Structure 1
């Protein structure tokens, strides 16, 4: 289905808003409040400081019967409580770019600040917003709180006109009953707006071919929005390419040539606020392999790369469901942990006690834990593959050569694992979370391990749980 006339697009948006307003009580959804703040510090300490409170142009898109998060995901959690009674009104888990940066070598040498935001439905009375963080016991404790009166005089209520109109990619019902995914574009010129829409449709269509998104496709609305740039593509500093773009998305985050993020949170939020959304994926108009994903923030993917389908889904897995990377042979920018704390992510474990394995309900009787697999053979090939990959990037070879190497690597893995006794077994396979020892993944292959086309059973359960959080009412759980 091809939708280009803006009259039709505006009509689609109007239908979505009208449907949302027709949802169960309250008939009119509350306003969307955004708290912008600065998160700064280094490896040893961190601080928070409020910047401003904003009333966004569109009403709250979420399911008001599921205001409280029961997923136990994320490094952080936001809680909104009634300032007078202490009643918990809203909560959501999330992670941050600051939290990732804090685990890099740079954080031991200097301090940095990152813009962040939390969004929530407007309370009827003044509220206290609390930011919580996991401690060494994996329990949440408050690290910052601030009182917010969304009716105060200094709250930003008037916004400039939308710079661009959202495109309705899929509208399956009112936002209050659906997951709203917003696809943003960065690095697309005015002449490439048609390409952006085609990219957004192509990649979102692929997402809904992958289980469990395929089975839950009707639970999603998808919107697309892009502000044109003067130059095609985003910045890639390691090759001397610097482009101005509305979102400031770029390669080489934390020194990793394949890691794509934006650290300009305000720019991101000020564009995203003109479409209904709970989750965001940014498409960069580049063909160089790369992407990134932060749970509860956003994900990114290089839309013109041969592996764009995989990138879009893999990175969305990080952002949407808090899935961890299960691979461990690629170079990582994060310093290894001195301890083996149990990860909060649903698909990796330190497995201190096999009897308490987080996915034990999927383990069949007689399966060995840890589960044997051809680890040494895999790692021997991986060393050769990673050396070739590094050489290709260092020589700035054509992207087609890198794409071919990725295909060759996946074919090798498929052939190797096809002979493994536990190819389709749910167990505990050592090697995950960027570490060869001490962390385990549920299955031999998964979209979060290599460039496979499917999620493992544990990842699928994790994704389904988040979909339920945004689409099912409490009594439907």
Structure 2
């Protein structure tokens, strides 16, 4: 009986999703992006017609949010008319800011997806410069009717599970939760993890108020071993998505570099955004705007990880913390970030979130920065020692709780505790970059987004499921 109800729910979900019978096919362009800190190059791999129709609303083809280090533009190959656009960032873009990129070149797999148009198109990948202007980095003509376009896909290795179906895909944001490191016996655990964490996402504003604008699907291909690879501890578990810890040498950074595997599994469910749950207890996650995010589902801080990393992937929110070690090198010259929740504050009178700033608020805004940094240095020393000694994760979780408790106590009596202003310290930098609020999910393991981050998230929800702009 349970199997029948599960099948019925899946069938109902699929029928609902494809209620828009006129949806075009989904085209995916797979390519390689290679280079180093000073140079990058592109090369086509293949053009794919995915098994499912385009999940988006054709009336919302144009992206006006100005997010991402890159921008996809699909134009009419003959007239040059713009047909579709989206901002995004890449794993390559993060890697090229690491120390390694100054020594060697690497190649990364990437993909862009767009609705199939009646005519041949030119796909352009644009890159943002230090002045925040976009210029074309690569372009290629794509004819979906060409003979070398891949049209037949291997059968799906797993079926999507409808977690929440609010309506037809073109009218909703489609979130796909993928699982990695779950064995066949752990498939029920994956579904429970997906339901638990998506439920938490929709308890946090502004996702809470916009929950009905989302469809949520879950999909996992079983692995032979439980958990994903963590090379720094000698754990190497092959998995369907190739997700692993220790990306760019950061023990807590979790990504997959196997874009082909990711896309070939994801294409069997409707999606616009992806969060990968890894079946591990060790704290870790990651998020790339417009690509995917990850979170360790069995960690005590899984709720925070899921929401924080999804903030990166979904809305392009910047990290507001700056005392934790990261793999990235500092940006020279402190250029103005494109992210909506960080600024170089070159002109306080033109602060990007000034509508939230009350008259008389000092810019920069005072906060107990020195005391916070002193406590943070001690905390980071303890954290590094626990990881070096490979101590049980329970000890790390206890340290995180202690750190958050101390931060809350330090901030509790501050006059600007709930002020929106410009607080120095953000974007991995102690000076020169500013965040909107003293505390936010993007700053520490808090429970809420600040109003500026909420605006940034709402902009993206509206892009996919808001009122159609005339």
Please give the per-residue CA displacement for 1:437-477, whole angstroms capped at 9, x wherever unaligned.
0000000000000000000000000000100000024238x
Native 8 Å contact 1:250 1:261 kept in 2: yes
Structure 2 residues not aligned, in runs of 5+: none
1:391 to 363, 368, 385: 385
The equivalent residue for 2:247 is 253
Match in the other structure for 1:201: 195
Alignment of structure 1 residues 88-103 onto 2, 5 Å: 88-103=82-97
**Cα distance in 2, alignment partners of residues 19 and 311 from structure 1:** 31
The match for 2:338 among 333, 336, 344 is 344
1:13 Cα deviation from its structure 2 partner: 4.1
Could you tell me whether the CA contact under 8 Å between 1:9 and 1:166 is conserved in 2?
no
3-state SS in 2 of match to 1:339: coil
Aligned length: 470
1:15 aligns with 2:12: yes
1:282 alignment counterpart: 276
Contact preservation (8 Å) 2:13, 2:162: no
Superposed displacement of residue 135, structure 1: 1.1
The aligned residue for residue 48 of structure 1 is: 42
Contact 1:431–1:438 at 8 Å: present in 2 too?
Answer: yes
CA offsets per residue over residues 373-405 of structure 1, 9 Å max, x none?
Answer: 000000010000000000000000000000000
Q: For structure 1, which runs of at least 5 residues remain unmatched after alignment? A: none
Distance (Å, rounded) in 2 between the aligned partners of 1:426 and 1:94 = 27
Counterpart CA distance in 1 for 2:266 and 2:56 is: 15
* TM score, norm. by length of structure 1: 0.97
Q: How does 1:426-441 map to 2 (within 5 A)?
A: 426-441=420-435
Deviations 1:382-440 (A, max 9, x none): 00000000000000000000000000000001111001100000000000000000000
8 Å Cα contact 2:18-2:169 kept in structure 1: no
Aligned partner of 2:453 in structure 1 is 459
Per-residue CA deviations over 1:264-284 (Å, capped at 9, x if unaligned) read: 000000000000000000000
Decide whether aligned partners of structure 1 residues 86 and 192 sit closer, same or farther in structure 2, where only a CA change above 3 A counts. same
SS of residue paired to 2:74: strand
Cα distance in 1 for residues equivalent to 2:42 and 2:254? 25
Partners of 1:14 and 1:145 in 2: CA distance:
40
Q: Give the match for residue 120 of structure 1.
A: 114
1:304: which partner in 2? 298
Is the CA contact (8 Å cut-off) linking 1:171 and 1:222 kept in structure 2?
Answer: yes
Displacement of 1:11 after TM fit? 3.8
Q: RMSD between aligned alpha carbons?
A: 1.1
Q: How far did 1:63 drift?
A: 1.3
Go from structure 1 to structure 2 and tell me whether the alpha carbon gap of 1:13 and 1:152 turns closer, same or farther (over 3 Å shift). farther
Structure 1 residue runs of 4 or more that deviate by more than 3 Å after TM superposition: 7-23
What is the alpha-carbon distance in structure 1 between the residues aligned to residue 297 and residue 2 of structure 2?
Answer: 20
Q: CA deviation at 1:4?
A: 5.8
Match of 2:259 among 259, 265, 283: 265
Q: Match of 1:387, SS?
A: helix
